[in-house]
Amino acid sequence: MTTYTLRPYQQEAVERTLQHFRKTTEPAVIVLPTGAGKSLVIAELARLAKGKIMILAHVKELVEQNHEKFIALGREAGIYSAGLKRKQTNYQITFASVQSISRNLDSLIDPYSLLIIDECHRLSEDEDSQYQKTIAHLRSLDPDLRILGLTATPYRLGLGWIYQYHYHGYIRSEDSKPFKFCIYELPLRYMISKGYLTPPRLEDAAIAQYDFSAITPDRFGQLPEKPVNELLTRCKRVTNSICQQIEALSEHRKGVMIFAATVKHAHEVLSYLPSQSSALITGETPPEQRDQLIRDFKSQHIKYLINVSVLTTGFDAPHVDMIAILRPTESVSLYQQIAGRGLRLSPNKTDCLIVDYAGNQFNLFHPEVGTTKPNPDSEPVMVFCPSCEFGNTFWGKKDTDGNVIEHYGRRCQATHLSEQGEPIQCDYRFRFKNCPFCNAENDIAARNCHQCHEAIIDPDDQLKKALQLKDALVMRCAGISIEIKESRVTVIYHDEQGETLQERFDFASPGQRQKFNQLFGRRFQHASKPIQFKKAREVEQLAHHLTSPDFVIARKKGKFWQISERIFDYEGKYRKAHQL
């Protein structure tokens, strides 16, 4: 029997779980980086639990790995996995594969008190999924079933966050998610600085790179296979020289994982690498052959292991000391998942070389923002809420001094607890449209006002209607300038061709001053520092921090154009100024 001492953070994860489930049965998730030793956290929870427990995983390797860690503690547990040729339900603790168990739910008749789901980012809300069927069945046996998920990446491209509220006091999604709370999370940086993971060596060594930026992602944010293959077919010489460089860089390295973009691409990569020491695994590789290849790789008979989207999670080869990324990775999470394959500790391993040949430009330590990167030069920026001071992470841009000059956040993500202990989201908005009826601030995509429930006109309809009118003018606004004369502030809207429209706010009139503040003071510095201007002079000094609208609509009044609408934070189908 082996005895384990849990690392301090593993112990804390266990304690947080116990505390949480003493209070509530709401499903919860723990986020630990790859290599943090999730299986020990699972083993400890299983050891402490009183009732029957099931631990679900999606591949038999993970079922086996978790089971091994547990029985090494000197305890007994069953396995339910067709792939492992065992179907045991009579133990207090069962390690099961979701495929096998969801097909045999009738064989589960005793209530389970705790369900642990490993790699739980695979869980969706689709009721017909294997996970949801299993959950529904276990809940029918015990309505108080506790559900705990573990993952390194609580975010999935296209589906978003897998949980709704974070214990640090912020919201990830206004929609319901498979897990209500994240109750514990450790960042990669912590694990590396404490020596629990191998430091990555991120070298900008790539001699040649693919450029996937011209390919439009599908609705899940993923690049479709066909154009990717077409692009790679045109890049044969690039692929060849990349492979040569991988060989040269890995001369003194033990295990190299190569992430290819498509099956076709993977075969090409394989053809350029030394045939004796290279292998390829795709989704179609037969299980026995796949197992053999993984064994050969772990025993270092194979040095180069190429794969296409199959070895990003649940694959454990600690000796890997080089990762070559030849595929587009559309999210920070996916990038971290891939890099994480090379960060496990192993004797005599001092670092892991990570080379990105696909120009992904992600930082391994960046937080996941949770929305698709709006453009290639965006980076995660910290934006403090003027109302509650919470530091939000949004996509944005910084100037050379590190000041945030632009961001894409919509609403503050902070939560505070109600008297009933329910999290409530801060209502401060960075981007919004005012309800034309009650003036409440609504999300830019809202169809009905959250306060008075009246329908809010869609900006696209507004623009379309104005474009049809003879006496209306729609300006694509490229910027604004300000002129001050005594108490009067004139806002001049400029389009791309240099045409202008203007309107004047006389600060001597409280109504006009208020209107200006509502439009421009409220959105000062992209609404991260709203101010109330009292005097026209103050506007002059701070004019360069005013936010411009994207469109301005004017109506003909005699000889003049009178501004009727200013559309800020536009995200519809019409082209904005300086967009292609």
Stretch that binds Zn ion, among 122-130, 437-445, 509-517, 527-535 (CB under 5 A): 437-445
User: What residues between 376 and 415 interact with Zn ion by CB under 5 A?
Assistant: 385, 387-388, 390, 412, 414
Q: Tell me if 213 contacts Zn ion by CB under 5 A.
A: no
Q: Which of 453, 534 has the CB closer to Zn ion? A: 453
Stretch that binds Zn ion, among 36-44, 227-235, 450-458, 463-471 (CB under 5 A): 450-458
Q: Provide, rounded to whole angstroms, the least separation between the CB of residue 411 and Zn ion.
A: 8
Chain center to CA of 477: 32
Q: Provide, rounded to whole angstroms, the least separation between the CB of residue 228 and Zn ion.
A: 40
Contact assessment for residue 323 and residue 259, using Cβ atoms and an 8 Å cutoff: yes
Choose which of 4, 220, 437, 560 interacts with Zn ion (CB under 5 A): 437
Cβ partners under 8 Å of residue 146, min gap 6: 21, 25, 27, 113, 114, 115
Whole-angstrom distance, CA of residue 248 vs CA of residue 268: 18
Stretch that binds Zn ion, among 25-33, 260-268, 303-311, 430-438 (CB under 5 A): 430-438
Size of the site for Zn ion (CB under 5 A): 15
Q: Provide, rounded to whole angstroms, the least separation between the CB of residue 374 and Zn ion.
A: 22
SS (H, E, C) 300-336: CCCCEEEECCCCCCCCCCCCEEEEEECCCCCCHHHHH
Chain center to CA of 42: 25
Contact assessment for residue 229 and residue 295, using Cβ atoms and an 8 Å cutoff: no
Q: Which of 364, 446 has the CB closer to Zn ion? A: 446
Residue 525: which region, alpha, beta or left (left: phi > 0; alpha: psi -120 to 50)?
A: left
DSSP class of 222: P
Q: Which of 265, 429 has the CB closer to Zn ion? A: 429
Cβ partners under 8 Å of residue 449, min gap 6: 435, 437, 438, 440, 442, 455, 456
Radius of gyration for the alpha carbons in the chain, expressed in angstroms and rounded: 28
> In the structure encoding, which two tokens stand for residue 11, read together?
């112990």
Q: Which of 438, 457 has the CB closer to Zn ion? A: 438
Choose which of 157, 202, 440, 543 interacts with Zn ion (CB under 5 A): 440
Q: Provide, rounded to whole angstroms, the least separation between the CB of residue 164 and Zn ion.
A: 17
Q: Which of 270, 388 has the CB closer to Zn ion? A: 388
Whole-angstrom distance, CA of residue 228 vs CA of residue 275: 25
Q: Provide, rounded to whole angstroms, the least separation between the CB of residue 387 and Zn ion.
A: 5
Kindly provide the b/e burial profile for residues 72-104, where b requires at least 16 CB atoms within 10 angstroms of the residue's own CB: ebeeebbbbbebbebbebeebbbbbbbbbbbee
Whole-angstrom distance, CA of residue 163 vs CA of residue 178: 6
Q: Tell me if 424 contacts Zn ion by CB under 5 A.
A: no
> In the structure encoding, which two tokens stand for residue 337, read together?
């998942």
Choose which of 186, 191, 426, 546 interacts with Zn ion (CB under 5 A): 426
Q: Provide, rounded to whole angstroms, the least separation between the CB of residue 439 and Zn ion.
A: 7
Q: Tell me if 438 contacts Zn ion by CB under 5 A.
A: yes
Stretch that binds Zn ion, among 264-272, 329-337, 421-429, 535-543 (CB under 5 A): 421-429
Choose which of 107, 213, 292, 451 interacts with Zn ion (CB under 5 A): 451
Choose which of 170, 184, 196, 428 interacts with Zn ion (CB under 5 A): 428
Q: Would you tell me which residues interact with Zn ion (CB under 5 A)? A: 385, 387-388, 390, 412, 414, 426, 428, 435, 437-438, 440, 449, 451-452
